[in-house]
């Protein structure tokens, strides 16, 4: 007859080893992923990337808006005025066409052509036409392309900043995808290791029950094995929960419809084996200062600060404008077309021109001087901030390189620890068979081997993550993953 404890071990083994899903429930659909496919799906579907994708287009639209400041404006008008009085009827019409705008050098220009014609009691027919040319050219404040193109250049800088910010968003999503993918793979391996550890405890439990039946083992060994098997089942449950959590995190990264994908299972292939080697730190630092999006944004922002200093300095100057105009007037009492012949002056038609200057200066000009001082201080602050960012980049790249080296050494040490743990367990089993090792000692050796497996899994995952983090810190994530971002 079998004892109740032996039957309990058999039931535990059957429950843990042969549990299967209900045949009534259809298996969910499965999405099979490689790391490269997961990254591609994240770039295509991730909502954070979709949001960031709008920013360069918004910045491009603002460039178009700033270009509009130099668009000439066309103005046309036509009206008729009829006035009845005791002395008769006055009937006049007025028509005009003009063009005006501003050049990149600050020149305001106005070109116009106008004509009027009609009749009244004193002058049966009278037609008057005129052409006007007017220019205002700043000589101090508002002069030059540096000032008048400042807003356009800042808009172009902002577009470059938005493009680099978009690249940073992609880099962050790709890096996070690599992290979660490796965490999911580690969770799967830990789950298998936890199940194997539990099965070892169950096997030992059955062995101890069998020996207890024939009086070879004491009851304490049986209870110890049973307690350890139940404890390791908790580790299996926690490992399974870790898999499910990381699956959800990965689904969130690779899809815009998380609710739909939640019902889908995910299976993954092992991540590509990264070559274990040294890191060229000087090359990494050069790459970081050339391709890190945050550093490139800081450089462009510094250029914008320089532009602001130039415009603030110009605003502090006095206003001295050169103004000029030319008016050609034509009159005729017979035909409107004859009044338009004012340019040849054959009929003695009047001409008028003027030229002069306009000067103004606020006293004591505190507003402009305060803005200039603030712009210079902000420019100096941005320069120090850039130096601070350079310092941070150097430290972060060096730390990332150190993490790779540390993880590489951990892999070597944990591989050796696992090998020794397996040998120790094999030796402990043999000693246990001959009665020179206790059940507790064997269970401890099993646990040591499981811990060594977990340490190796963690070290390998951290190594892959350290490489991905190093790529992020050096700005090489897109290049290393073959990703091109079109501008």
Q: Summarize pLDDT for 131-140 with one digit per residue, the tens.
A: 889 999 999 9
pLDDT of residue 455: 95
pLDDT-derived band of residue 378, with 50, 70 and 90 as boundaries? very high
d(C-alpha 86, C-alpha 92), whole Å: 17
pTM for this model (two decimals):
0.80
Neighbours of 125 (CB within 10 A): 13
Q: Write out pLDDT tens, residues 231-265.
A: 888 899 999 999 999 999 999 888 877 677 777 88
pLDDT-derived band of residue 2, with 50, 70 and 90 as boundaries? very low
- 91 contacts 80 by C-beta, under 8 angstroms: yes
What beta strand segments (E) does 230-276 contain? 265-268
For the chain, what is the mean pLDDT? 84
Q: Write out pLDDT tens, residues 432-453.
A: 877 777 888 888 898 999 999 9
What beta strand segments (E) does 103-229 contain? 108-119, 126-138
Q: Is the pLDDT of residue 201 over 90?
A: no
pLDDT of residue 467: 94
pLDDT-derived band of residue 117, with 50, 70 and 90 as boundaries? confident
Q: Is the pLDDT of residue 339 over 80?
A: no
Neighbours of 50 (CB within 10 A): 12
Q: Is the pLDDT of residue 84 over 70?
A: no
Neighbours of 77 (CB within 10 A): 10
Q: What is the CA radius of gyration of the chain?
A: 42
Q: Is the pLDDT of residue 35 over 80?
A: yes
Q: Is the pLDDT of residue 86 over 80?
A: no
pLDDT of residue 3: 47
Strand partners, 331: 128
More confident of the two residues 382 and 213: 382
Q: Write out pLDDT tens, residues 399-426.
A: 999 999 999 999 999 999 999 999 998 9
CB-based contacts of 123, cutoff 8 Å, min separation 6: 333
- 268 contacts 249 by C-beta, under 8 angstroms: no
Q: Rounded to whole angstroms, what are the CA distances from 201 to 84, 232, 390, 449?
A: 116, 8, 55, 13
Could you write out the DSSP letters of every residue in 360-383? Answer: E--SS-HHHHHHHHHHHHHHHHHH
Q: Is the pLDDT of residue 431 over 70?
A: yes
pLDDT-derived band of residue 376, with 50, 70 and 90 as boundaries? very high
Closest CA to 349 of 134, 133, 135, 131: 131
Neighbours of 75 (CB within 10 A): 11
**Mean pLDDT of the 176-186 span:** 95
More confident of the two residues 16 and 357: 357
More confident of the two residues 300 and 232: 300
Q: Write out pLDDT tens, residues 15-29.
A: 444 444 444 444 557
d(C-alpha 396, C-alpha 39), whole Å: 24
**Mean pLDDT of the 374-386 span:** 95
Closest CA to 290 of 400, 154, 164, 454: 164
d(C-alpha 330, C-alpha 131), whole Å: 9
pLDDT-derived band of residue 127, with 50, 70 and 90 as boundaries? low
Closest CA to 83 of 117, 127, 119, 123: 119
**Least reliable range by pLDDT among 22-26, 29-33, 308-312:** 22-26
Cis peptide before 364 (omega within 30 of 0): yes
pLDDT of residue 1: 40
pLDDT of residue 386: 95
């Amino acid at each position: 007859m079998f004892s109740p404890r032996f039957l309990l071990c058999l039931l535990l083994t059957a429950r843990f080893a042969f549990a299967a899903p209900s045949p009534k429930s259809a298996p969910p659909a499965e999405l099979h992923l490689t790391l490269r496919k997961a990254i591609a799906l994240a770039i295509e579907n991730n909502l954070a990337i979709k949001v960031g994708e709008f920013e360069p287009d918004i910045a491009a639209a603002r460039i178009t808006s700033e270009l509009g400041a130099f668009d000439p404006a066309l103005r046309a008008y036509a009206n008729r005025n009829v006035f009845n009085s005791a002395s008769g009827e006055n009937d006049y019409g007025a028509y005009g066409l003009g063009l005006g705008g501003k050049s990149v050098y600050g020149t305001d220009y106005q070109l116009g052509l106008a004509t009027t014609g009609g009749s009244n009691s004193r002058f049966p027919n009278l037609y008057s036409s005129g052409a006007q040319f007017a220019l205002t050219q700043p000589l101090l404040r508002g002069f030059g392309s540096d000032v008048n193109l400042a807003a356009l250049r800042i808009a172009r800088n902002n577009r470059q900043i938005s493009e680099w910010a978009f690249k940073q968003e992609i880099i962050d999503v790709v890096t996070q995808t690599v992290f979660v993918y490796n965490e999911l793979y580690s969770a799967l391996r830990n789950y298998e290791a936890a199940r194997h550890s539990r099965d070892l405890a169950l096997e030992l439990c059955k062995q101890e029950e069998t020996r207890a039946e024939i009086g070879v083992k004491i009851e304490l060994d049986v209870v110890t094995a049973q307690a350890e098997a139940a404890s390791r089942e908790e580790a299996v449950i926690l490992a399974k929960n870790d898999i499910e959590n990381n699956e959800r995190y990965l689904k969130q990264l690779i899809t815009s419809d998380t609710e739909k994908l939640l019902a889908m299972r995910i299976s993954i292939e092992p991540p590509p084996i990264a070559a274990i080697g040294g890191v060229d730190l000087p090359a990494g630092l050069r790459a970081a200062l050339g391709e890190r999006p945050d550093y490139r944004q800081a450089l462009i922002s510094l250029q914008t600060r320089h532009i602001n200093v130039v415009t603030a300095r110009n605003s502090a100057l006095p206003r001295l404008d050169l103004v000029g105009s030319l008016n050609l007037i034509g009159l005729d009492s017979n035909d409107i077309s004859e009044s338009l012949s004012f340019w040849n002056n054959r009929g003695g038609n009047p001409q008028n021109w003027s030229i002069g200057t306009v000067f103004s200066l606020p006293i004591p000009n505190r507003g402009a001087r305060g803005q200039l001082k603030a712009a210079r201080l902000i420019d100096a602050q941005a320069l120090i901030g850039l130096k601070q960012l350079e310092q941070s980049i150097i430290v972060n790249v060096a730390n990332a390189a150190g993490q790779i080296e540390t993880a590489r050494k951990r892999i070597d040490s944990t591989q050796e620890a696992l090998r020794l743990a397996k040998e120790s367990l094999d030796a402990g089993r043999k000693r246990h068979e001959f009665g020179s090792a206790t059940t507790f000692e064997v269970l401890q050796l099993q646990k040591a081997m499981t811990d060594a497996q977990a340490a190796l899994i963690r070290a390998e995952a951290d190594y892959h993550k350290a490489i991905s983090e190093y790529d992020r810190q050096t700005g090489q994530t897109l290049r290393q993953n073959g990703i091109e971002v079109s501008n």
